[in-house]
């Protein structure tokens, strides 16, 4: 009778070891993560920049959902979060302005959505709740709204024209056309965004052209 008892005890020990290996820990924000990989399972390594980004997100106190709708939701936002740029808050406002402008312009001329994922990033769905800080409802006539959308688009193109061609192209691609693709000319993107930032503030837009 003792042999089956010993067998059951050994099996229980093996189950306990498997349970310990699959135990999870709670990260800040309530997110669960495995303590260590199961035996025989290859551990998936996160890219170094994503590890740093997740650490920044935890420090800000944002939930993953909030971060996904903010700067962590696109390549240019992640780059701004990771880089130590003094005016990155202004540059992010320029990114959001560009995206809202292009969405409004496309709607005003009846153009199809440029990119499904891009549209979700540029124009996230608002909640059905209103507060004192909520923007006032848009009571403009459709014709007036379309005119102003097209005027804002022309103003944006004017601001971007103060940067060199390569900078404009890189900025347009990563901000409006392909927000999930790697950024090839980050220096040019920053130059173009600074032109847009000055335009938003009503300042005189400086010419930022790099020599070939």
What is the extent of the structural domain holding 167?
Answer: 85-123+142-200
| Per-residue pLDDT at 71 | 75
DSSP string, 122-179: HSPPPPS---TTSPPP----HHHHHHHHHHHHHHHHHHHTTB-HHHHHHHHIIIII-T
**How many angstroms separate the CA atoms of 167 and 209, rounded?**
8
Question: Exposed, middle or buried by CB within 10 Å (0-12, 13-18, 19+), for 96?
Answer: middle
Structural domain count, the chain: 1
Residue 99 lies in a domain: yes
Confirm whether 73 is domain-assigned: no
Buried b (16+ CB within 10 A) or exposed e, 9-41: eeeeeeeeeeeeeeeeeeeeeeeeeeeeeeeee
Query: What pLDDT is stored for residue 188 in this prediction?
Result: 96
For residue 72, being part of any structural domain is answered with no
Q: Please name the residue that has the structure tokens 């890219």.
A: 47
Residues 6+ apart with CB under 8 A from 52: 82
Judge whether 57 and 72 are in contact, CB under 8 Å: yes
pLDDT score, position 85: 86
- 8 A C-beta contact, residue 97 and residue 200: yes
| pLDDT confidence of residue 190 | 96
pLDDT in tens, the chain (212 residues): 445 555 557 777 777 666 655 555 555 445 555 555 555 555 555 555 556 656 666 665 556 566 555 677 788 988 988 888 889 889 999 999 999 999 888 888 887 766 655 444 454 444 444 445 445 566 678 788 888 889 999 999 999 999 999 999 999 999 988 888 899 999 999 999 999 999 999 999 999 988 76
Quote the pLDDT of residue 35.
Answer: 55
Q: Would you say residue 114 lies in a domain?
A: yes
> What is the predicted pLDDT for the residue at 130?
46
What's the confidence (pLDDT) of residue 133? Answer: 47
């Amino acid at each position: 009778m003792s042999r089956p008892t010993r067998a059951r005890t050994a099996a229980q020990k093996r189950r306990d070891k498997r349970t310990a290996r699959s135990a999870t820990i709670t990260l800040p924000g309530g997110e669960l993560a495995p303590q260590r990989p199961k035996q025989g399972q290859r551990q998936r390594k996160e890219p170094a920049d994503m590890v740093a980004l997740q650490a920044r997100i935890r420090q800000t106190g944002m939930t993953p959902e909030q971060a996904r709708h903010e700067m962590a939701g696109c390549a240019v936002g992640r780059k701004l979060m990771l880089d130590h740029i003094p005016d990155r808050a202004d540059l992010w406002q320029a990114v959001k302005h560009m995206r809202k402008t292009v969405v409004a312009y496309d709607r005003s001329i009846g153009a199809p959505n440029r990119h499904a994922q891009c549209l979700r990033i540029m124009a996230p769905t608002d909640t059905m709740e209103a507060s004192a800080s909520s923007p006032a409802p848009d009571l403009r006539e459709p014709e007036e709204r379309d005119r102003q959308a097209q005027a804002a688009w022309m103003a944006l193109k004017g601001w971007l024209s103060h940067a060199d061609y390569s900078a404009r192209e890189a900025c347009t691609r990563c901000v409006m056309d392909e927000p999930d693709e790697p950024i090839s000319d980050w220096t040019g993107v920053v130059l173009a965004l600074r032109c847009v930032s000055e335009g938003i503030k009503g300042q005189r837009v400086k010419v930022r052209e790099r020599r070939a």
